[in-house]
């Protein structure tokens, strides 16, 4: 079974990834699975309203734990930790759980052998049914590590269900930025849609997101959202895309009725009008998403 | 005072409000810690200064010394050293996190480390404001490393007043930034997405015990109430910026609305007075 996966990213946050993901999903006729890979600020469920059907805890890497009865506070662990995640306080080594990467250097260097590893629950992965198909979403507990690993697991679950259920399409709402969770969302996808907007900041971020897709060898195209907030900068973005050879998949205007629909927790399918199915067909064609 | 401007949700206006606060108090050290997408210099104005690399140690194996015991591959929790039961192991540099464990476990000391560039720090002046920016190299995933090196650089300046423009989200890059803050200013918007991500941020600043206040941006764009969150986390709203198309347009062009919107500038000044009244 050949499943095609499209991931929606942006570089800059707040350009409209989630709104676009839900809208595209609402007009895509294929049997599909949805995934929200923005695991530390997930919002797709706020528009898709899934029923709760399963929850699995996410642990990530195990982290260091100090057995205080044996710790002499020598500080060898602190001096060896490259992540600034263990400090001697009041004569005992204390692990900063938010920063420990579980590398085990401290276990190796501790002369008292009083450090071991423990698992901590860092979040949960959930699955729920929605009117548009099953949604895989997750929540990393605030301050957590291992977003990349969590995204990889989430996508694996979504693909597994796609395979088992005969769905032909996986639509993934990606995170902002270009770091771990984005790399983990884009790696191995068939096509990436980069949502931009007419601002100098978004253009700078678009270049970085496009650079990442290039490094990961994932083909991509660009959607310019809220294009009418600056016709001039929209032209600048289009020119940049043309010069770089990046396909512009379409533009979406800033309209209050779209913002109002999202504000009321609704997918703005109707508000986007006929341009929306056209945009989806363009993405399908450029991204070769049809089997 | 070291102020962190954060948000949870992206695009709520962290950078616009950071730039406005800095333009109103140009003696504050500006630090852009949104290293994956640094945009503060675009809104502040032309950057002049120097660029320094941020590096991270990566393991290398000296084949002539290697005894093919496989201990390095067994020890690496990131799966960055492949060994097929014979021959010299191979380091996958994109998975290596530079923890330094493999050189310690290698019996013949055949593993050494080389510095790999994972990003850069820009240090200089923007519009008369002392400015520092971390910038992750495209393709690198070492966001936290670049943030921490940028903060170290800031510490070397011995300035008492900082304004840190933080990354979006609620994961480790934000925690790495907030760790150095005396107070957090959370910029949100009255929409369902803004509210949901703000809740995660409020849990995080409460966990980290950082005094926190809210700035509501784009009021009028949404009607979602944040009152119950303010009560639950015991935080106050220090300023509200109404949604204005002209502010959005000037921000889009890379001009801070502080310079050409009188109402915006006035709100920024009263935000500073509120910060001082409550936290100084």
Domain B2-54+118-279 grouped into CATH 3.40.1710.10 = no
Residue A148: strand pairing partners = none
- Write down the residue that tokens 């770091």 correspond to: A179
Taking the Cβ of residue A234 and every Cβ of chain B, the question of whether any pair is shorter than 8 Å is answered with no
What chain A residue is nearest to B191 in terms of C-alpha separation?
A263
Contact A124, A56 (CB under 8 A): yes
Task: Note the pLDDT tens digit of each residue in A65-88.
Answer: 999 999 999 999 999 999 999 999
Cβ of A142 within 8 Å of Cβ of B170? The answer is yes
Cβ of A105 within 8 Å of Cβ of B223? The answer is no
Over chain B, what is the mean pLDDT? 95
All structural domains of chain A, each given as residue ranges with its CATH number in brackets, are 4-59+123-286 (3.40.50.300), 63-118 (3.30.70.20)
Question: To probe the interface with A, which of B36, B93, B209, B254 has the most A CB atoms within 10 Å?
Answer: B36
Which residues 6+ apart lie within 8 Å of A245 measured at CB?
A: none
What is the pairing mode between strands B90-91 and B81-82?
antiparallel
Residue among B191, B197, B278, B189 nearest B235 (CA): B278
- Give the domain ranges of chain B: 2-54+118-279, 63-109
Give the architecture (CATH level 2) of B63-109.
2-Layer Sandwich (3.30)
Each of the 280 residues of chain B gets a pLDDT tens digit; together they read 999 999 999 999 999 999 999 999 999 999 999 999 999 999 998 899 999 999 999 999 999 999 999 999 999 999 999 999 999 999 998 889 999 999 999 999 999 999 999 999 999 999 999 999 999 999 999 999 999 999 999 999 989 999 999 999 999 999 999 999 999 999 999 999 999 999 999 999 999 999 999 999 999 888 899 999 999 999 999 999 998 888 888 888 888 999 989 999 999 999 999 999 998 7
Task: Note the pLDDT tens digit of each residue in A270-283.
Answer: 999 999 999 999 99
CB pairs < 8 Å spanning A and B: 186
Question: To probe the interface with A, which of B169, B175, B177, B198 has the most A CB atoms within 10 Å?
Answer: B169
How many other CB atoms are found less than 10 A from the CB of residue B274? 16
Chain A residues near residue B196 by CB distance under 8 angstroms: 41-43, 46
DSSP state string for chain B: -EEEEE-BSTTSSHHHHHHHHHHHSTTSEEEE--TTS--HHHHH--EEEEEEEEEEEEEEE-TTT-----HHHHH-TT--EE--SSS--EE-TTT-----HHHHH-TT--EEEEEEEEEEEEEEEETTEEEEEEEEPTT---HHHHHHHHHHHHHTTT-S-EEEE--SBSSHHHHHHHTT-SEEEEEE-SSHHHHHHHHHHHHHHHHTT--EEEEEEEETS-----HHHHHHHT--EEEEEE--HHHHHHHHTT--HHHH-HHHHHHHHHHHHHHHHHH-
Entry pTM? 0.94
Which residues 6+ apart lie within 8 Å of B141 measured at CB?
A: A148, A179, A180, A183, B94
What chain B residue is nearest to A105 in terms of C-alpha separation?
B101
Cβ of B138 within 8 Å of Cβ of A178? The answer is yes
Contact A278, A27 (CB under 8 A): no
- Write down the residue that tokens 């476990």 correspond to: B105
Cβ of A229 within 8 Å of Cβ of B170? The answer is no
Cβ of A176 within 8 Å of Cβ of B172? The answer is no
As a whole number of angstroms, the distance between CA A214 and CA A90 comes to 50
- Whether A1 shows a pLDDT value over 80: the answer reads no
Taking the Cβ of residue B138 and every Cβ of chain A, the question of whether any pair is shorter than 8 Å is answered with yes
Cβ of B101 within 8 Å of Cβ of A140? The answer is no
Cβ of B10 within 8 Å of Cβ of A204? The answer is no
Contact B11, A43 (CB under 8 A): no
Angle, helices A275-286 vs A17-27, to 10°: value is 90
Chain B residues near residue A15 by CB distance under 8 angstroms: 10-11
Closest CB to B191 among A10, A104, A262: A262
């Amino acid at each position: 079974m050949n499943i095609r996966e499209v991931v929606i990213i942006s570089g800059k946050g707040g350009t409209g990834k989630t709104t676009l993901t839900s809208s595209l999903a609402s007009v895509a006729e294929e049997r599909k699975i949805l995934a929200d890979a923005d695991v530390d600020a997930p919002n797709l469920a706020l528009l898709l309203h899934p029923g709760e059907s399963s929850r699995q805890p996410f642990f990530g890497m195990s982290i260091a734990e100090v057995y205080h009865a044996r710790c002499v506070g020598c500080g060898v662990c602190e001096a060896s930790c490259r992540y600034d995640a263990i400090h001697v306080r009041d004569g005992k080594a204390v692990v900063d759980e938010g920063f420990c990467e579980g590398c085990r250097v401290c276990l190796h260097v501790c002369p008292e052998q009083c450090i071991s590893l423990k698992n901590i629950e860092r979040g949960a992965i959930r699955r729920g049914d929605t009117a548009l198909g099953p949604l895989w979403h997750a929540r990393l507990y605030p301050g957590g590590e291992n977003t990349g690993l969590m995204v990889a697991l989430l996508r694996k679950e979504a693909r597994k269900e796609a395979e088992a259920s005969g769905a032909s399409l996986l639509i993934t709402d990606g995170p902002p930025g270009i770091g771990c969770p984005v790399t983990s969302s884009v790696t191995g996808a068939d096509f990436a849609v980069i949502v931009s907007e007419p601002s100098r900041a978004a253009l700078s971020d678009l270049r970085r997101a496009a650079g990442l897709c290039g490094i990961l060898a994932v083909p991509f195209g660009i959607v310019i959202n809220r294009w009418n907030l600056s016709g001039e900068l929209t032209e600048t973005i289009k020119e940049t895309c043309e010069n770089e050879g990046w396909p512009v998949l379409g533009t979406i205007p800033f309209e209050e009725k779209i913002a109002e629909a999202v504000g009321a927790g609704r997918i703005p399918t109707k508000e986007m009008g006929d341009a929306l199915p056209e945009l989806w067909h363009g993405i399908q064609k450029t991204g070769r998403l049809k089997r | 005072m070291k102020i962190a401007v954060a948000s949870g949700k992206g695009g709520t206006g962290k950078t616009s409000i950071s730039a406005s606060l800095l333009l109103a108090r140009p003696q504050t050290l500006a630090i852009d810690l949104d290293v994956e997408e640094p945009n503060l210099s675009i809104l502040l104005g032309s950057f002049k200064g120097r660029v320094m690399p941020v590096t991270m140690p990566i393991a290398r194996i000296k084949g002539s010394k290697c005894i093919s015991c496989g201990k390095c591959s067994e020890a690496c929790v990131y799966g960055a050293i492949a060994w097929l039961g014979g021959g010299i192991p191979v380091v996958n540099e994109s998975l290596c996190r530079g923890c330094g464990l493999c050189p310690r476990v290698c019996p013949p000391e055949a593993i050494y480390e080389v510095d790999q560039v994972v990003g850069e720090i820009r240090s200089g002046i923007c519009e008369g404001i002392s400015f520092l920016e971390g910038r992750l190299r495209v393709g690198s995933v070492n966001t936290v490393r670049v943030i921490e090196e940028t903060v170290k650089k800031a510490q070397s300046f011995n300035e008492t007043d900082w304004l840190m423009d933080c990354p979006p989200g609620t994961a480790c890059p934000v925690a790495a930034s907030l760790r150095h803050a005396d107070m957090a200013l959370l910029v949100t918007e009255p929409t369902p997405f803004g509210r949901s991500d703000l809740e995660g941020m409020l849990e995080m600043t409460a966990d980290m015990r950082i005094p926190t206040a809210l700035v509501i941006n784009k009021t009028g764009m949404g009607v979602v109430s944040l009152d119950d969150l303010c009560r639950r986390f015991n935080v106050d709203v220090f300023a509200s910026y109404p949604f204005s198309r002209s502010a959005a347009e000037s921000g889009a062009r890379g001009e801070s609305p502080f310079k050409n919107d009188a109402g915006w500038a006035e709100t920024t000044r009263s935000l500073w007075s509120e910060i001082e009244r409550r936290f100084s």
